[in-house]
Amino acid sequence: MDAVKNRIGLEQKLYELCLPVVREQGYTLYDLEYVSGTRTLRLYIMDPVSKSAVIEDCVKVDHALSPAFEAATWIPDEVVLEVSSPGVYRHVNSLAHFQAGLGETHSVTIMGQLDAALNAHLPKKVLGGKKFRGVLKEVNPSLVTLETDAGLVKLTFAQIKSAGVDPDFSELMHKASQNQKD
């Protein structure tokens, strides 16, 4: 995985068109993907406070994008726009995604093995693992640090195959009850 997600071609142009509109509506553009085979443009938006989005948020952004899409003659007519929340169990595929998830529980799958020099304090059985789950403690352009049951696990971006926020259901229920009290 690269620390920075590089977009090219039509996907980059769509990103540049959508980003300011999403921000004007008060949301974060968490991710965008253009599936050229189906001509589907998927926007994942979220409220910066709740880190989620409800259907009304998605509709608001969809409607706000309509004038920009109609004015941009370079957008293929057949593009199908889908606006949704990245979800509670959102994928994580860039440095910005990891930074936004500091303090949250993540699951990470790696390629190869852990760097023994970075993780010398861990038991051998942990060093041979491929999947790790823990609280994201630190992130920088080269390393991700998870606090797991076995201790701190340091992962390089290059070895991360996939990652996602993976909260406990009990954590979610606790947050929901706190939000209802506020």
Domain locations in the chain? 9-84, 95-165
Strands (E), the chain: 28-35, 40-46, 80-84, 105-110, 131-139, 143-148, 151-156, 160-165
d(CA 58, CA 67) in angstroms, rounded, equals 16
Nearest of 19, 11, 13, 14 to residue 61 by alpha carbon: 19
Q: Which fold has domain 9-84?
A: GMP Synthetase; Chain A, domain 3 (3.30.300)
Nearest of 83, 79, 67 to residue 30 by alpha carbon: 83
Confidence at residue 154, expressed as pLDDT on a 0 to 100 scale = 96
Confidence at residue 169, expressed as pLDDT on a 0 to 100 scale = 73
Q: What is the pLDDT along the chain (182 residues), one digit of tens a residue?
A: 777 777 888 889 999 999 999 999 999 999 999 887 888 999 999 999 888 899 999 999 999 999 999 999 999 888 999 999 999 899 999 999 999 999 999 999 999 989 999 999 999 889 999 999 999 999 999 899 999 999 999 999 999 999 999 998 776 666 666 666 66
- pTM score of the predicted model: 0.81
Q: How far is CA 9 from the centre of its chain?
A: 21
Confidence at residue 44, expressed as pLDDT on a 0 to 100 scale = 96
d(CA 44, CA 86) in angstroms, rounded, equals 5
95-105: string of b/e by CB count within 10 Å (b at 16+)?
A: bbbbebbeebb
- CATH architecture assigned to 95-165: Roll (2.30)
Confidence at residue 78, expressed as pLDDT on a 0 to 100 scale = 86
Question: Checking DSSP bridges between strand 151-156 and strand 143-148, what pairing results, if any?
Answer: antiparallel
d(CA 47, CA 56) in angstroms, rounded, equals 12
* Dihedral (Cα; 175, 177, 181, 182), 10-degree rounding: 20
Confidence at residue 61, expressed as pLDDT on a 0 to 100 scale = 98
